[in-house]
Structure 1
Amino acid sequence: MKRKKIALWAVSGAASLSLVSGCASNEGTKVEGKPADSGKQQQPIVIDWMNYPGAIMENSYGQTFLENKFNIKLKKVYPIAYDDYKKKQQLMLTSGEVPDVLFVFDPGDLNKYASQGLLAEVPFSTIEKYAPRTKANLDKQAPQGWFYSQSGGKNYGVPTFYYTGQFHTKQAWRTDLLQKAGITKIPETIDEMTQAFAALKKIGVYGMSSNGQSYYNQFHSLFGAFGVMPTQWMEKDGKVVNGAVQPEAKEALAVLSDWYKNGYIDPEFVTGKDLIPKFAAGKYAFMDAASATATDESDPNSVISAVKKVDPNGKVEFGPLPKGPRGQTGGWAWGTAGNIWAFGKQVEKDPAKLQKALEILDALQNDEQTWLALAWGEKGKHWDFKDPAKSPSGGLKRLSPYDDVNKLQAEGMPELSNGTMYWGGQPNLDLNGNYNANKEKAKLYNHSVSDIFGKSDILPSSGKFWSDLIKLKTETYAAIIRGDKPVSSFDDFVKQWNDKGGAQLEKEANEMYKQVKK
């Protein structure tokens, strides 16, 4: 499926595919927010902006910078943890409290809010007028994002970029544990992993663990070895199907069930908790959900730094995605679009506020110094170059105490430095440009698999069925792996999936895909 076709369909031919550069020079000096208008100062526009989730504090550095830079007043901040954000947002909107600007995680949520009349329609022409660089960049680099912001044929927001979404999580091995078990080569196939896990068991180490609570990250690379990625939509034999209910998924579950029965999988995987602490403590040897910074010893929050605190002789190395019986590999990737910035219905009656919000989003995405100030903060206070001789291309490092996630978020900056609390990923200024010494590691062994629509809950009836379906999938898979249910129960699961809305979503997926391919 060509991206150009997606863009043309999604934006009804309104997309311009030219890339407009908005990067300033990267001198790395202290950045202070100043009002853009140097003439007569106007009264600040008051905006109720529900920021990206984090423990942001009132009058933080980030809030002050944004207010001074753009001559606005943020009505309040929302110090909500990532895991609680979606639930609290839904409760807040249900009670009638709708922010002017709000970060929305998924298309299913946006569809729900739009159908309830809570969101303002934002025509593509308006985005092109007040956020032209962002519009052009999305059309060219992440056109599937326009699927996310639309509902009922209308557009309700601005998608975010997720440059790192073209990469799956890394396969990290405790090679020191492999060596203790007599394994001298990082396993590359399912059979080699089975042999390694058997050897690790003899020294009291589990082969692997996973996040059993995650519908997408639950042993994802093992399913990729069999050619599917539950719960992504994929094209197979000329039609669109969901990976969760394919026979290949049953094959993968049979292997995982056998590994669990043999004691190769941490039985606490189902909780999804303490994956890094257990890896650092040497409880298991293979992690298929590590980040590109996992082996970066200069990063105090990296996996290797956690390992070294427990065992100074510990070693962590990246390995390839496991290869299955038919030579297949794959890891879950989200694609280059991420989430959505949406706007409360009331903003339709306040065009000046919408204009200002779009101008801010455009600056955060395209003005290097503005992005740097809100993603990293002040040089010398919040960050410095890892290698001054290489300046940004050598990577940046957080300075104490802002290498502590909680203190960093309290300042109004996100843990993930390729975005800000008021935007999303920044492809042109991070991995695709400067500021990241780990960009080559992100590309290492990459064989990503993305949903053909970008996100699985993009379909018209997703809001009605999707949450129940992913709950059914997550619980059933975990039960089969643990042996609570036999592998043969997968066939019952397929029937349940289809009865609970899976068949309807498959019908809609095929209809949408036909439109895209026209």
Structure 2
Amino acid sequence: MLVTAFFVSGCGLIGSPPDKRSPTIHNSQTVSIVISNLGMTFPSGMDENDNRYLNYIEEETGLEIQVTTPPPEVYNEKLDVIMSSGNLPDMMHAYEPVWFGNYAKQGAFMPLDDLIDRYGPNLKEKIPSEIWDRVRYGGKIYAVPSLNEVSGVELVYARKDWLDRLGLKPPVTLDEYYEVIRAFTQDDPDGNGIDDTMGLIFTANLGRSAPFFGAFGTQINSWFEQNGKLVNGNILPETKEALAYLAKLYKEGLLDREFPLNLQNNLYEKIENGTVGLFSAAWYDTRGPIADNMKKDPNAQWIALEYPTGPNGLKGVYDKDIIRGYNVIPARSQNAESVIKMLDFIVSDYKNLKLGFENEIWRLENGRMVTNFEKHDEHLYRGIYQSLVDVPDPVLFRERLDSLGDFQLYTNLEIIKKSVIKNEFYGIPTPTMSKYDKKLGELQDIFTRIIMGIEPIESFDTYVERWKQEGGEEITKEVNEWYRNRDRTRLEDGLNE
């Protein structure tokens, strides 16, 4: 699994800690942790075990922290290797709920309720009770969660200068989107007389396709309520309709032919080079490939579009689960108390760790934050540690986004928030999810083959039957049992108020 993150700076406490740990700290407790480096790099002379932000945490807590960072590309696999090795660290940070649920049910982790009560006052204050309920198993807490600040990721951006050159209005309906995508591909929107543009681009595994499924009222790998029960979006007739629409685009050459091979860097490169007219952008892409394209081509203009609206008036994109990471302590750890103290400090010192050191990364001018972008980028690695226990702070969040320049970051997130399609299942993964997750994921490859015309659209019906037979039906029963219990618990809580 490739773990990626976007870190932006804002405000912090006055002053910067020294580069090295204070020599007055004695008899410090050593804590070993396994975390992701999030693909970040360190300034020259620093690494994951010797840098200003880790040293700052060690100074403030009196701990000696030994950090191991498996490669992001194989992070989950390395966690499994560590769990089976018998040589366990004091803490591990995981991203996959199925992974967390699987090991929690095996008794591999230490229950944390008493430790949090004694050593985690800031954790208790800043993480809502309903989130703690998401990391319970058998009534006990088995992880300290890290939270997402955003409710969703994707919104559609298009080249306004291309629309204007071709005399087109910003599209709203799926039919209007089709016409714009066709024109961006076939009608020489950049006016260079060369057939070198594409109307729409995805990445591998149907990345950046969410708005087009949303137009049919569905999302891949989400659960929806229908007639009082939860059903998986992968097997809905609406998903078949979305695949048929996308297959038409691909057949006519309107969707990037290389999308099954596109990684994020390929998508960025094509946008920057001016070959793409419309795509589902991440909310921060206005500061990335879109900004790079406008630097390269001064005539380029981009605008956010309304989400494509389907035949039944539906639109939207997947929501982002509130939990983005799980800090777990192996059952035999001898330093669990110190781990909780470390996490409690991280969540309490949001500004220094999230936003960087004041008057170095940022400063206040007339009450407004101003960011030193060179220093901001140099210190991005701080997110490796801060993101272990991230918690939303709406006021600071907007201030730091605005401090980064006129990239419409906050506006993008507000657009997304209004159109997220809620995933109704958010419990600990069920037992059969852990058992069948990989197999069902492999079956899903048929979606790409249908879009490419390798498989006919009728193959979707075969997929649905196989999905049910190879674990999906069992998973659906367990998900609905959770759903019934959730509603029962809500009712009981309401009666007790």
Q: TM-score range by the shorter chain?
A: 0.7 to 0.9
2:225 to 228, 235, 238: 235
1:231-267 superposed Cα distances (whole Å, 9 cap, x missing partner): 1111112111100100000011110000111111001
Residues 363 and 371 in structure 1, CA contact (< 8 A), matched pair in contact too: no
Give the aligned partner of residue 454 of structure 1: 426
SS of the residue 1:170 aligns to: strand
Q: 1:60, CA displacement in angstroms?
A: 1.4
Give the aligned partner of residue 158 of structure 2: 173
Q: 1:98, CA displacement in angstroms?
A: 2.1
Give the aligned partner of residue 376 of structure 1: 355
Give the aligned partner of residue 428 of structure 1: 393
Name stretches of at least 5 consecutive residues in structure 1 with no aligned partner. 1-25, 297-301
Under a length normalisation based on structure 2, what TM-score does the superposition of the two structures give? Answer: 0.84
Name stretches of at least 5 consecutive residues in structure 2 with no aligned partner. 1-10, 189-194, 403-408, 489-497
1:516 and 2:494 correspond: no
Distance 1:425 1:289, change over 3 A: farther
1:481 to 430, 451, 468: 451
Runs (4+) off by over 6 Å = 33-37
1:503 and 2:452 correspond: no
Distance 1:344 1:231, change over 3 A: same
Give the aligned partner of residue 303 of structure 1: 289
Inter-partner Cα distance in structure 2 for 1:253 and 1:232: 16
Residues 33 and 66 in structure 1, CA contact (< 8 A), matched pair in contact too: no
Residues 271 and 290 in structure 2, CA contact (< 8 A), matched pair in contact too: no
Distance 1:453 1:362, change over 3 A: farther
1:130 and 2:116 correspond: no
1:361-380 superposed Cα distances (whole Å, 9 cap, x missing partner): 23322x3xx22222233334
Give the aligned partner of residue 106 of structure 1: 96
* Aligned-partner residue type, residue 283 of structure 1: T
Kindly tell me the number of residue pairs found equivalent between the two proteins.
455
Residues 146 and 387 in structure 2, CA contact (< 8 A), matched pair in contact too: no
Inter-partner Cα distance in structure 1 for 2:222 and 2:118: 34
Q: How does 1:342-357 map to 2 (within 5 A)?
A: 342-347=328-333, 350=334, 353-357=335-339
Give the aligned partner of residue 15 of structure 2: 30
Distance 1:36 1:157, change over 3 A: farther
Inter-partner Cα distance in structure 2 for 1:325 and 1:421: 44
Percent of residue pairs identical: 23
187-196 or 95-104: bigger deviation: 95-104
Residues 33 and 69 in structure 1, CA contact (< 8 A), matched pair in contact too: no
Distance 1:144 1:181, change over 3 A: farther
* Aligned-partner residue type, residue 133 of structure 2: W
SS of the residue 2:431 aligns to: coil
1:199 to 176, 183, 186: 183
Give the aligned partner of residue 6 of structure 1: none
Under a length normalisation based on structure 1, what TM-score does the superposition of the two structures give? Answer: 0.80
Q: 1:188, CA displacement in angstroms?
A: 1.4
Distance 1:53 1:116, change over 3 A: farther
Q: 1:505, CA displacement in angstroms?
A: 0.4
SS of the residue 1:230 aligns to: coil
Residues 174 and 316 in structure 1, CA contact (< 8 A), matched pair in contact too: yes
Give the aligned partner of residue 413 of structure 2: 442
Q: 1:198, CA displacement in angstroms?
A: 1.5
SS of the residue 2:442 aligns to: helix
1:398 and 2:389 correspond: no
1:287 to 279, 285, 308: 279
Give the aligned partner of residue 442 of structure 2: 471
Give the aligned partner of residue 44 of structure 1: 28
Inter-partner Cα distance in structure 2 for 1:45 and 1:122: 19
Q: What is the aligned-residue RMSD (CA, Å)?
A: 2.9
1:388 to 365, 369, 372: 365
Inter-partner Cα distance in structure 1 for 2:327 and 2:26: 26
Residues 331 and 449 in structure 1, CA contact (< 8 A), matched pair in contact too: yes
Residues 233 and 451 in structure 1, CA contact (< 8 A), matched pair in contact too: yes
1:146 and 2:133 correspond: yes
SS of the residue 2:421 aligns to: strand
1:63 and 2:54 correspond: yes
Residues 61 and 345 in structure 2, CA contact (< 8 A), matched pair in contact too: no
1:360 and 2:358 correspond: no
1:269 and 2:259 correspond: yes
Inter-partner Cα distance in structure 2 for 1:41 and 1:73: 10
1:160 and 2:146 correspond: yes
1:209 to 197, 201, 206: 201
